[in-house]
Structure 1
Amino acid sequence: MAVKMVHINGIHAKSRWDALAHPEVSKWVFIDLPVSYTKTQEWCESVGNRPNRADFCFEVDGVPAGFAGLVNVDSKSAVAELYIFLHPDFFSKGLGSEFLKQLLSYGEFELNLRKVSLFVTADNTKAISYYEKNGFEIEGVLRKHVWFRGAYRDRVIMAIFLDGLGLNADKFYNETV
Structure 2
Amino acid sequence: MAIIEPKQFTFSNGGCFIVREALPEDAEKVLTYTKEILADSPHLITTPEELTQTEDQQEAWLTNIVEDANKLALVAELDEVIIGFLDFHNGNRIRNRHQGSFGMSVKREYRNNGVGKALLETMLEWASENETIEKVSLEVFSDNFGAIALYKKAGFEMEGIKRKAVKTEDGYHNLFLMAKFL
Pairing 1:149–2:168 present: yes
Alpha-carbon shift at residue 133 of structure 1 (Å): 1.9
CA gap 1:43/1:155 in 2 versus in 1, 3 angstroms: farther
Listed one character per residue, the Cα deviations across residues 40-64 of structure 1 (whole Å, up to 9, x for unaligned) are 6355222122557422222234331
Pairing 1:11–2:28 present: yes
Pairing 1:70–2:85 present: no
Listed one character per residue, the Cα deviations across residues 54-110 of structure 1 (whole Å, up to 9, x for unaligned) are 222222343311010112435654111011111112112112111100011122224
Structure 1: 5+ residue stretches without partners = 163-177
CA gap 1:98/1:16 in 2 versus in 1, 3 angstroms: same
Q: Which residue of 1 aligns with 2:133?
A: 113
* TM-align CA RMSD: 2.5
CA distance, structure 2, for counterparts of residue 89 and residue 15 of structure 1: 13
CA gap 1:87/1:111 in 2 versus in 1, 3 angstroms: farther
Pairing 1:93–2:113 present: yes
Q: Which residue of 2 aligns with 1:172?
A: none
* Count of residue correspondences: 157
Could you list the structure 1 runs, at least 4 aligned residues long, displaced by more than 4 angstroms after superposition. Answer: 74-77
| Conserved 8 A contact 1:80-1:116 | yes
Alpha-carbon shift at residue 124 of structure 1 (Å): 2.1
SS in 2 for 1:34: helix
Residue 39 of structure 2 aligns to which amino acid in structure 1?
A: A
| Conserved 8 A contact 1:59-1:65 | yes
CA gap 1:66/1:15 in 2 versus in 1, 3 angstroms: same
Q: Which residue of 1 aligns with 2:75?
A: 57
Alpha-carbon shift at residue 8 of structure 1 (Å): 4.5
CA distance, structure 1, for counterparts of residue 131 and residue 78 of structure 2: 24
Q: Which stretch of structure 1 is more off in the superposition, 50-59 or 87-96?
A: 50-59
| Conserved 8 A contact 1:119-1:156 | yes
% same residue: 25
